[in-house]
Amino acid sequence: MSSLGDLFGVRKPVIAMLHFPALPGRPRHDRSGGEARLLDAVGSDLLVLQDAGVDGVLFCNEADLPYQLRVGPEIPAAMAAIIGELRRDLRVPYGVNVLWDAIASLALARATGARFIREVLTGVYESDLGMIEPRIGEIAGYRTAIGADDVLLFDNVQPEFASAIGSRSVADRARGAAFLGVDAILISGPAAGAALDMRHLAEAREAARDTPVIANTGVRAERIREIFSIADGVIVGTSLKVDGVTWNPVDPERARRLVDAAGQARSALPVG
């Protein structure tokens, strides 16, 4: 499980979400605010999160509802423009997530220097968006073709708003993803910010063996010790926002509280 430690420089990293407002071409996009509003919103959250002491950040087009399984070029282009403006301010490792398009995420990572992507990369799922059918072989081949083999693949094997097709358990899916070479396995609750099932987290952790397992939703300061007893890291967004609402700006006090709780939880872990 050295990949996470090597990337973030800490045991059990806290990776914080940087949610973009709706991007060009999406129903909620603010045309009058344009690029300036995007840059202000994402840049302000970045400074707050880094000042709070998070270990990494993940840029995501969270507000692009309703989500697409294949996005147009305007989405990663807009994200790349904003990330490019912010690169001089970035002090922590960063990843990208273009919902729900792994190829677009890889292209964006290659263009911006992102170190990892988060996507559904394996399995087949029925979802509110339709059938999610990633093809890990094509995704991995594309990563090599564009010279992005150093971009880590974070695979959400228990995605939000979706259920796996067939009878394979969380453990089966985690074991398969690890065998296929993903760099981390993510376990989520039923929606953004929703608590995950700790049994699923434990099943994935046991099945994944040497592949890190990350809690992807429902991470709060008061639960971080429990989650760190199993997970190798966390991705957190909603609980860091003003009033705990996904679409709000990051609350500096909530961010500091979670980072402090994570530090205390790490200190209580067994050595090794």
Comparing CA positions, the residue from 98, 144, 137, 141 lying closest to residue 121 is 137
Asked if residue 272 belongs to a domain, the reply is no
Asked if residue 146 belongs to a domain, the reply is yes
Q: CB under 8 Å to 226, separation ≥6 — which residues?
A: 198
If one counts the domains in the chain, the total is: 1
* DSSP H/E element including 130: strand 130-132
* pLDDT single digits (tens) 221-271: 999 999 999 999 999 999 999 999 999 999 999 999 999 999 999 999 988
How many other CB atoms are there within 10 angstroms of residue 173's CB atom? 25
Asked if residue 270 belongs to a domain, the reply is no
Spatial separation of the C-alpha atoms in residues 114 and 109, rounded to whole Å? 5
Asked if residue 269 belongs to a domain, the reply is no
CATH number of 66's domain = 3.20.20.70
Average pLDDT over residues 137-144: 98
Q: Helices 74-86 & 102-112, crossing angle to 10 degrees?
A: 30
* pLDDT single digits (tens) 63-110: 999 999 999 999 999 999 999 999 999 999 999 999 999 999 999 999
Average pLDDT over residues 3-32: 97
Asked if residue 180 belongs to a domain, the reply is yes
Query: According to the model, what pLDDT value does residue 1 have?
Result: 44
* pLDDT single digits (tens) 163-200: 999 999 999 999 999 999 999 999 999 999 999 999 99
Spatial separation of the C-alpha atoms in residues 138 and 63, rounded to whole Å? 27
Asked if residue 31 belongs to a domain, the reply is yes
Structural domain boundaries, residue 119: 2-263
Tokens 């259920």 sit at which residue?
Answer: 163
pLDDT band at 3 (very low <50, low <70, confident <90, very high): confident
The strand pair at 125-127 and 162-164 is best described as antiparallel
Please state, in angstroms and as integers, the Cα–Cα distance from residue 270 to each residue in 13, 57, 261, 266, following that order.
16, 26, 16, 9
Q: What angle do CA 194, 158, 80 make, to 5 degrees?
A: 80
Asked if residue 240 belongs to a domain, the reply is yes
| CB-CB contact of 26 with 18 (8 Å) | no
Lowest average pLDDT, out of 2-6, 107-111, 140-144, goes to: 2-6
pLDDT band at 2 (very low <50, low <70, confident <90, very high): low
